[in-house]
Chain A
Amino acid sequence: MKGWRRRYIIFQIYSAKNLQFEKHDVLNVLFKTILKLFGEIGASLLNFNLIYHDSVKGRGIIRCNHDKVCWLRAAAAFISDINGTPITFHILKVTGSIRRAKEILNSLPSSKVLGDEEAVPGV
């Protein structure tokens, strides 16, 4: 039998002064938000996990079921702070394989951090 179809979601966390957050903080806030919004059954249907997190750049990859990406996006919109620090949780890209997700993550410019003076608007 074919296994679960998954999607890999590349995200970026924007915060004032480019603060760094640990992986367990990000996973914790994500879990709490999903639980509050969709409940325990919803969380089990989402079948999500934070599989990679770069705390320096504030980026990472979340894995979830392919038909619940919309739920994860909605949950991302509801995340307004991590440990009391206001943030914006933005989803950059959704892919179908972990290999492609890592390729995209590595190819993103380092200036994609808010407040970086070298950041050039992607016109």
Chain B
Amino acid sequence: MTVTRHELRQGRAPLAIWTASIGALMAMCILLFPEMKADMQGVSDLFASMGAFTQAFGMDRLALGTLLGFYAVECGNVVGLGGAMFAAMTGACALSREERERTADFLLSHPVPRAQVALQKLAAVLLEVLVMNAVLLAVSFVCIAGIGEEIPCAELLRLHGAYLLMQAELACLCFGLSALVIRGSAGAGLGIALVAYFLNLAANIAESAHVLRYVTPFAYAEGAEILERGQLDGGLILLGAVYALAAVAAGIRHYAQKDIR
């Protein structure tokens, strides 16, 4: 696991920065909840009159006056989108960075098969995503305890489990891409994360766009639906896993055969 260890060491700073930024935003949202709780009925009424906007964020199905409803909307968006951007960018740079920064000749002139190099890099990306989500979950527990609310453990684990799976899928999709795109891979990764996010909004708004739920991983990380159903959507997760595996397999296959620049 030499390459994985090296990648984790190299990725420490971005991981710390992204985790701290998302964690701080999330903590801020949670710490604001007691103050906003009293006004939430009015806010809910306001959102209820906003039609498509309310539907897009699942607010028509959530009670914003409750901790879980508020958490699923506010923190869900912060952790979901922020984490997705980090995961996509990290995945998209995993293989391409070596060629872009001209360190590929050094790494690949060692006796390690390229497929193994790629798998070890993927392991590092997924571990980073896991660490970020573990820290964010811990921050969430501490902040909720800090405002004196009861911690809804099962629901939070379900929500954060879904965020983790969604980020892992995006990381895998972008990892596959990183074998193909050398320059601009970070931008491409961010683009994929944002497009996936907006596809889910579109799927929530229009019935005709409902099919997009089978494309974007944000569909199974939708807070409103997870809380409503009390469980994750296994079918969508399985479909996402198939997409992720296909992207990883295609990426590794291409990386193992490509000419290194």
User: Are chains A and B native binding partners rather than an unrelated pairing?
Assistant: no
Q: Which residues of A contact B (CB under 8 A)?
A: none
Q: Which residues of B contact A (CB under 8 A)?
A: none
